[in-house]
């Protein structure tokens, strides 16, 4: 909150890491994900190796964050990045709970 209050860009890209939301999603920091969304982070921002925060959460096996991002409007069909889609990421990384959640949310 302090950084944002002093002008930090919540959408800033960190090279291959993508945005702060993507990093927090990959690392499983659900409280940070909530905060960034509250502060206006775009859940569909693109960039970095995962391409989207949803792909990051899916590849790294974080069903709670995956569910939150979908509830906040993340595109389950978004393509790009290392894995292609969030569903492909979850499948390749063996995260069955995330695979089920994505399919239930309309991913194909």
Q: Give the per-residue pLDDT at 26.
A: 97
Task: Name the pTM for this structure.
Answer: 0.89
Q: How far apart are CA 85 and CA 81, in angstroms?
A: 8
pLDDT one-digit tens code per residue, 93-104: 999 999 999 999
Q: Which residue has the higher pLDDT, 5 or 90?
A: 90
Q: How far apart are CA 73 and CA 55, in angstroms?
A: 14
Question: Where is average pLDDT lowest: 2-6, 20-24, 66-70?
Answer: 2-6
For 2-104, which CATH superfamily applies? Ankyrin repeat-containing domain (1.25.40.20)
- Reading the block at residue 65, the tokens are 């964050």
The angle formed by the CA atoms of residues 103, 63 and 2, to the nearest 5 degrees, is 130
Q: Per DSSP, what are the bridge partners of residue 84? A: 80
Q: Which residue has the higher pLDDT, 13 or 107?
A: 107
pLDDT one-digit tens code per residue, 8-54: 667 766 767 789 999 999 999 999 999 999 999 999 999 888 889 99
């Amino acid at each position: 909150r302090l950084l944002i209050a002093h002008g930090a860009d919540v959408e800033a890209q960190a090279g291959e890491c993508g945005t702060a939301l993507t990093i927090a999603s990959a690392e499983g920091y659900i409280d940070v994900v909530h905060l960034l969304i509250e502060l206006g982070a775009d859940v569909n921002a693109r960039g970095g190796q995962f391409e989207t925060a949803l792909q990051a959460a899916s590849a790294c096996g974080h069903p709670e964050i995956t569910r939150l991002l979908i509830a906040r409007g993340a595109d389950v069909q978004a393509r790009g990045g290392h894995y292609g889609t969030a569903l492909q990421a979850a499948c390749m990384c063996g995260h069955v709970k995330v695979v089920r959640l994505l399919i239930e949310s309309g991913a194909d």
